[in-house]
Amino acid sequence: MMQQILRDMFVDPELLAELNEEQRQILFYKIRQEQVRRWTECEIWFSHLPLSWSPENRKSVQWLQGRDGEVWVWVMGDAPGDKPYEMIVKELMEERARRQAQLEAQELWIFQQSCMQSILYQFFSILPSILSISSFLVRRSKEADEEMTRKARWARDEYKRQSLRAIEKGHVAGLSGHFQKQSHRRHSTFIEPSVSPVSSNEVRPRPGLQRAEPPLYRPAWVRTPRPNSREMVILWFTEEQKPKQAGYERNSNAIAPWFHGKINRLVSVGMWGSFLVRVSDRIWGYTLSYRTASGFKHFLIDASRDYYSFLGVDQNRHATLADLIDFHKVKE
């Protein structure tokens, strides 16, 4: 270490801070000796140069002489008006810590900005899908309303024509029963009032129409590539998975003990090796949470097609969710 310091003529401030005063003076003395030795060698080398060689146009170094005629030496912290060496080292360390904190704060700000940009990008990427689904549902609702209005208008006109024709022939009672059968076959949204039989000589006012309650419109189920909301996940599970008996015991109407539906919780109180399956909010499928000795592991089950399989290297396909669970329980 001493040879390296004498060769480089440099002392690391941290190393210098660990030395006591006596060791520092010895180190400075050794450095001073090395400087004098180098200077002496240089002087001897110049003395052997030929007289024709002139250093007039060359750069040279002249040592500052002190009052005693020796080379002037300044020891950091010992000269009048200088700060103590400990204070200089402390200021250097504080400056280094300040720069490090500033650099870390700048890196944190850049990371937060990138996260915010990623969130905004994801939001604006799914926004067209949400708007398209909304416009599709509105269009389907409008088309259904127009279809019901058209059928109601046709049924009203048809009833008027048949009623006038029956009144002219005097068969109002028979026509009423005949029209009721036709209206049931055409799924009309209107009902006709009950007409009591009258004699052919009795003239009754034209019967009116009573509007029935329109059926509740239910929009068609449209599945996007990925779930956009928890409501869509619930609708997907209700429309597609419940008819497949997902979450039930095999060949039974009892719900499996490992299935927790849409409850978003972990196997916090279970022992090692316990697991549960719940509906996932990220994919059209489920999440299997498995308790290990070190914590929890989560696996995604793909149910977007006509089979169930784990996402990843396991490509085994199963017809039902219970088959997948039983297969891996036996396999383990």
Give the domain 230-331 fold: SHC Adaptor Protein (3.30.505)
pLDDT digits (tens, 9 = 90+) for 11-48: 888 888 888 989 889 989 999 999 999 999 988 888 87
Task: Outline which parts of the chain fall under CATH 3.30.505.10.
Answer: 230-331
The token duo for 331 is 């396999």
Q: How far apart are CA 65 and CA 314, in angstroms?
A: 84
pLDDT digits (tens, 9 = 90+) for 55-101: 566 677 888 888 888 898 877 777 777 788 788 889 999 999 999 99
Phi and psi, residue 75, nearest 5°: -95, 125
Q: What is the reported pTM?
A: 0.34
CA angle, 15 then 19 then 25, to 5°: 115
| 85-169 helix and 172-185 helix, angle to the nearest 10 degrees | 150
**Euclidean distance between the first and the last CA atom of the chain, given in angstroms as a whole number:** 61
Alpha carbon distances (Å) from 177 to 15, 143, 153, 174, 198: 111, 32, 20, 6, 14
288 pLDDT tier (thresholds 50, 70, 90): confident
The CA radius of gyration of the chain, in Å to the nearest whole number, is 47
CA angle, 292 then 296 then 302, to 5°: 110
Phi and psi, residue 206, nearest 5°: -65, 125
